[in-house]
Structure 1
Amino acid sequence: MRTVNVVNHPNSKFNAFTLFQHNEQQSQRNLALLEQLQTTLEVKKLIDIFAIEVAKYLDFTGIYFKHTDVSATARGSRQAKAERQFELKLNGHFFGMLTYAVNMPISITNYEILNELHQLLINPLNNAVKYHQAMQLAMQDGLTQLGNRRSFDEQIKRTMAQAARRHSRVGLILCDLNKFKAINDSFGHIIGDNVLVHFAQALRQSVRDTDCIFRFGGDEFAIIIADASQQSLTVIEQRIYQAMAHDALLAKYNVTSSLGLAFMNKADNAISFFERADTALYSQKMNIPRKLSVVSQHSS
């Protein structure tokens, strides 16, 4: 559903020459906009480019795009007195919603211009959304729907860089299932896959919304904890064991897990950070007493 306020201005000057001049100028602007929209496959950048063009015709304080799989907000957007929503349709089917934050009604002339601009935006947006969807699939483990190793490699670097800027701490938990091969050999790969799915769900139940979970393949998993503390890692560790104990399928097949915990320190890069967590994981699997790599608040 589209909600707009339109205002007509009957006293505006009009003649055939100005109409032709306007159409010619508008066509050139539209072509320039289309060329700019074809320079990126990032939804956020498309909305930013589009907002610059819309600002030539409409006094707004924000533009917001919402699709089933992705949303974006134009740079500098803020609330206004009202919102005007436009449905975007592709080949007659609903594609997404574009919302303008405005303080004044939209004139009929500008309303028509917006509809024309939306037609230029829709195909680049569709391409960007499809690219986003493809990238999400490429970064996702097909069985558990968690992030995959490629996704982990990107996220760990990003989280470590943010922590260095904010002087915060990053925690890393590596997990694997004990004697998982025996489950596959004894009960078959269908049961083995179900075990992995249930273990992934136990991990989801154990972390905060801001934490990221990944499956590398096989029975190897990882959790990145931003703004971590010794207490938060310990709580997550305890929750994982509790969630596994309360899962009927994991309990039925006597599934247990080993966890390796580590904190990032100032000397770490992504590889050394991972290696320390991996060493902690190996130590627990070998029943060697494990020490959490604790650092002071200012060493991350």
Structure 2
Amino acid sequence: MQTLNVVESANVEFNAFKLFDIRDHEDNYRKLALTEQLQTSLELKTLLNIFAMEASKFVNFSGLYFKQESMSAAARGSKPGKSERSFELKINNEYIGTLTYALNAPISLTNRRILQELHQLLIHPINNAIKYQNAIKLAMQDGLTGLGNRRYFDEQLHRAMHHANRQRTKVGLMVCDLNKFKQINDTFGHDIGDEILVNFAKALTHSVRDSDSSFRFGGDEFAIIVEDASEQSLIIIEERIKSALSNNSLLAKYQVACALGYTFMSRDDDASSFFKRADNLLYRHKIISNKKLSLI
């Protein structure tokens, strides 16, 4: 017969059952589940929505916001709280952005530590999303002027036309190019030509509303999409562009002028017919302008 000796000791700290602590298991499972969910998107807002669901278990907040130099986003339904608490997100001491909670109640020290652990799970997906969005932006941007390129114009024109049809609003399209730009380029060189294009792009940007979009197709060809447009709004933009040209010292020095053609979308337009009509009007205005110059 074997004897089992039981030794009681209140001073022994080791407990084999702690290796399988249910709370630790649940915590690790939760973190793993969050990590997997955060790998499903490269959209900042979607990442914040996913993260907010987990963070809300530890913090009472009404809004979650991410901001950095080039972009920002907010979780769905975010609104101001009683106070705010911000956390800087860094990878290898390199600043990625700031995560801000709109708080309804203070964060306890324990929950603050948990949040900081959760932030470590969020930081790499956010960094990947930023890099992805920057890459998309570069692919849609004219390298010289920073305006949208032709590819981005095509995408935004389809979107604006769809929005106008759905909301029963008007969308205007303005196309323009610089008069005698080739002559200026050939006479003074490509460096001056590039400076003129950059300054003209700035003039366009300063002449439109925040809701409007400016594009460069290449060469000296530009376009503006004007949403929720009216005849008066297009006239105002045209006047602002002319004023901006005369007030820009470089453009005034080389006597840079532009021809404009603009029109509104009709209900039976597609993107091609809409653009072609605006382009034809530009061509007519250039002919009229050249005839006037030849009579001077």
User: TM-score normalised by the shorter chain: which range applies?
Assistant: 0.7 to 0.9
1:36 corresponds in structure 2 to 37
* Deviation of 1:17 (Å): 5.0
Aligned partner letter, 2:236: V
Per-residue CA shift, 1:105-129, capped at 9, x if unaligned?
Answer: 2122221211111000001110111
Equivalenced residue count is: 274
1:115 corresponds in structure 2 to 116
Change (3 A) 1:251 1:108: closer
Per-residue CA shift, 1:120-153, capped at 9, x if unaligned?
Answer: 0001110111111111111111111111111111
Q: Given the alignment of the two structures, is residue 259 of structure 1 paired with residue 260 of structure 2, yes or no?
A: yes
In 2, the alpha carbon distance for the partners of 1:80 and 1:256 equals 51
Q: Given the alignment of the two structures, is residue 92 of structure 1 paired with residue 89 of structure 2, yes or no?
A: no
Q: When the two structures are superposed, what TM-score results if normalisation uses the length of structure 1?
A: 0.87
* Deviation of 1:71 (Å): 0.8
* Deviation of 1:217 (Å): 0.5
For 2:21, what is the secondary structure of its paired residue?
helix
Task: Please list every run of 5 or more consecutive structure 1 residues that lacks an aligned counterpart in the other structure.
Answer: 1-14, 289-300
Q: Given the alignment of the two structures, is residue 197 of structure 1 paired with residue 193 of structure 2, yes or no?
A: no
In 2, the alpha carbon distance for the partners of 1:231 and 1:98 equals 42
* Deviation of 1:81 (Å): 1.2
Runs of 4+ in structure 1 over 3 Å off: 15-19
* Deviation of 1:18 (Å): 11
Per-residue CA shift, 1:169-204, capped at 9, x if unaligned?
Answer: 111100101221111111111111111112112212
2:6 corresponds in structure 1 to none
* Deviation of 1:94 (Å): 2.4
Per-residue CA shift, 1:258-296, capped at 9, x if unaligned?
Answer: 1010101111122111111111111111218xxxxxxxx
Once the two structures are superposed, the pairs formed by residues 99-138 of structure 1 within 5 Å of their partners are 99-138=100-139
Task: Please list every run of 5 or more consecutive structure 2 residues that lacks an aligned counterpart in the other structure.
Answer: 1-14, 290-296
Structure 1, 200-209 or 144-153: larger mean CA deviation: 200-209
Aligned partner letter, 2:134: Q
For 1:95, what is the secondary structure of its paired residue?
strand
1:147 corresponds in structure 2 to 148
Pairwise CA RMSD? 1.8
Q: Given the alignment of the two structures, is residue 53 of structure 1 paired with residue 54 of structure 2, yes or no?
A: yes
Per-residue CA shift, 1:54-94, capped at 9, x if unaligned?
Answer: 12332221111111111110001112212121121211232
Q: Which is greater in Rg?
A: 2
* Deviation of 1:156 (Å): 1.2
Sequence identity percentage = 58
Change (3 A) 1:18 1:86: farther
Aligned partner letter, 2:48: I
Aligned partner letter, 1:42: E
